[in-house]
Amino acid sequence: QQPGGGFAEAGGAVGPELTAWAALGLQAAGADTGGALQYLQARENALPEITDAELVAVAEGALGRQPAVLLDRIRKAQRPDGRIGPNVNSTVWGILALRQSGAPALRASVRFLLRQQARSGGWAWYLHGQPDSNDTAAAIEALRASGVGGVPIRRGLAYLLRLRNADGGFELTPGRGSDAQSTAWAVQAFVAARKPVPKKAFAYLRGLRRPDGSYRYSKQFVTTPVWVTAQVLPGVLKKPLPLR
């Protein structure tokens, strides 16, 4: 964390996106977030993409602030088909932002998200794209936060299980190999669905923890440790989005 309240990777630039992720990870752990909220508030009008606004809104909501300006922007981004912003991912995060602040989900957006579930049971980042574990887990969390259960959730979890590897970790897409973030996202999805977390997932994550407290991206690579650790924390603590 930098003096102004924002977060940066070692030697990198401070930014609201990484700050939002770090704040969510720390909040999940019940840890002090310093001046992160003030940093994010000061940059609400300078977030270029709707997904940036949604992520920051989730973080501010988790930190106890009602981000009215950002929530209004999210509502205004809803399209006639129910989509929020341009993509499936932006719809997921729009729903999560609203629910994090206690606002009702836009029902047309929930219906849109349900229509985007692929035959495999997963969800993709964008329309008609290839599903992946991260977007599938986030979609499950958004749907569960909107009161959806039953078949769509079961199909989504079954898709995630097909991306589980023998080492206990989960991979983003078939053949990529396990990684910390995909595993943490999958854990959050199972917790959100109130289903048992697959065995060995937590052991896999423990195996990636480094002496300085950060997490490796995978057994092969160490990269963006602030971002990776921020996303792993809610998973190892069994706290799906929206944070409660």
Q: Looking at residue 226, what is its pLDDT?
A: 98
User: In this structure, which amino acid lies at residue 206?
Assistant: R
Question: Residue range 37-65: average pLDDT?
Answer: 98
> Per-residue confidence at 239, pLDDT binned at 50, 70, 90?
very high
- Six token digits for residue 67: 């981000």
Over residues 169-220, the pLDDT tens digits come to 999 999 999 999 999 999 999 999 999 999 899 999 999 999 999 999 999 9
Q: CA-CA distances (angstroms) from residue 84 to 54, 71, 72?
A: 10, 12, 12
> Per-residue confidence at 116, pLDDT binned at 50, 70, 90?
very high
Q: Looking at residue 144, what is its pLDDT?
A: 98
Share of the chain above pLDDT 90, in %: 100
Q: Looking at residue 17, what is its pLDDT?
A: 98
Q: Which helix (DSSP H) or strand (DSSP E) does residue 178 occupy?
A: strand 178-179
- Six token digits for residue 26: 């720390």
> Per-residue confidence at 136, pLDDT binned at 50, 70, 90?
very high
Q: What is the DSSP letter of 196?
A: P
What's the whole-number average pLDDT of the chain? Answer: 98
Question: Residue range 60-89: average pLDDT?
Answer: 98
Tell me if residue 47 falls in helix, strand or coil: coil
What is the pTM assigned to this prediction? 0.98
Question: Residue range 92-116: average pLDDT?
Answer: 98
